[in-house]
Amino acid sequence: MTATAPASAPESPKAAADERLLRTSPLKRLLGRPELGSMVGALAVFVFFSIVADSFLRASSLSTVLYAASTIGIMAVPVALLMIGGEFDLSAGVMVTSSALVSSMFSFQMTADVWVGAGVSLLVTLAIGAFNGFVLTRTKLPSFIVTLGTFLMLTGVNLGLTKLISGTVSTKSISDMDGFSSAQTLFASTLTVGGVQFKVTILWWFALVALASWILLRTRAGNWIFAVGGNKDAARAVGVPVERTTIGLYMGVALGAWISGQHLLFSYDVVQSGEGVGNELIYIIAAVIGGCLITGGYGSAIGSAVGALLFGMTSKGIVFAEWNPDWFKFFLGAMLLLATLLNAWVRKRAEATT
């Protein structure tokens, strides 16, 4: 007598298919993009000012908008990466000024080529970023406390050292020193394309957006950033170097501060020691408008660029429309709130369709 094994039930196609290999529709992919909400907002703001401000669509006006956006965007990109990693930096604004002050005062006091001052400034600025990351990872204190402390220290050092060395609240002119013209070309020159003048900071901005997007989407470090921002303990459990990634992100913010600081210095020749206070909030706002979550683990470099563009269009659009600029902060706050609500709605729609 032979026993016959029961026939196994046929495996359903859905069970057989690996869900990781299933194709996602273009609509689902679009809804899942962090920058979608900010892009919709940017389009609305562009159309709005195109209607209410006759000069907004002029090539020279758009160049001005891009320049205003680039001065914010250069810092918004590394700040966005840091926020994706689950942290933020309240010292970013005054760090820009610190970078410019170190370059200017070192070059002037040492009668050195301005490139030497710029190099020293790069090392000092990166050291400040590394300090923020090191203290944060070692003490486990919230980034709010650590970077607020750095913000206050840099604010005091900027003013105190400048008055001690220069005797005033601003640095001395370095326009006649060796290397100034070449440094100005790199950090603060004006390019003419088709009869329209564009600031070189726009190229710096685009390059940083491209680099940051490549890091986030095409490298192992990008996976680490998302993992650290999503859940540090889980990331550490699977071998992600959490501390090293966090310190690297803070040094990335410092690099952006150095680029912005050199632009500040070589654009105006002198630096006011009290500048930069409050700009850190603008960088964070640009990143949040662009889709970054305060809680970390979500966002994109392109989104931060769109957020900076929104800032540029609003700040200059109000001027072109000949409105009272006192209302600018109101529009900025309204954009932040609306963009955050729109981003939350887009995320819910994306999760519902997956």
Mean pLDDT of the chain: 88
Estimate the crossing angle of helix 242-268 against helix 180-188, to 10 degrees: 120
pLDDT digits (tens, 9 = 90+) for 214-246: 999 999 999 999 999 999 999 999 999 999 999
- Mean per-residue pLDDT, 182-211: 94
The pLDDT of residue 1 is above 90: no
* Residue 255 half-sphere exposure toward CB, CA atoms < 13 A: 15
Reported confidence tier of residue 28, pLDDT bands at 50, 70, 90: low
The pLDDT of residue 278 is above 70: yes
* Residue 101 half-sphere exposure toward CB, CA atoms < 13 A: 27
The pLDDT of residue 273 is above 70: yes
Which token pair is 62?
């758009």
* Residue 138 half-sphere exposure toward CB, CA atoms < 13 A: 7
Estimate the crossing angle of helix 180-188 against helix 114-139, to 10 degrees: 50
Distances (CA, A) of 22 to 12, 34, 123, 153, 346: 15, 22, 48, 52, 22
Which token pair is 222?
């990008």
Q: Which of 48-52, 255-259, 277-281 is the most confident on average? A: 255-259
Q: Please name the residues in contact with 168: beta carbons below 8 A apart, sequence gap of 6 or more.
A: 162
- The confidence score (pLDDT) of residue 351 equals 62
- The confidence score (pLDDT) of residue 5 equals 46
- The confidence score (pLDDT) of residue 346 equals 67
User: Across-strand partners of 61?
Assistant: none
Please give the Cα distance from 343 to 79 (Å, whole number).
Answer: 18
- The confidence score (pLDDT) of residue 341 equals 77
Q: pTM for the full model? A: 0.88
Choose among 258, 94, 265: nearest CA to 174: 265
Contact 190, 198 (CB under 8 A): yes
Q: Select the more confidently predicted residue: 201 or 338.
A: 201
Reported confidence tier of residue 6, pLDDT bands at 50, 70, 90: very low
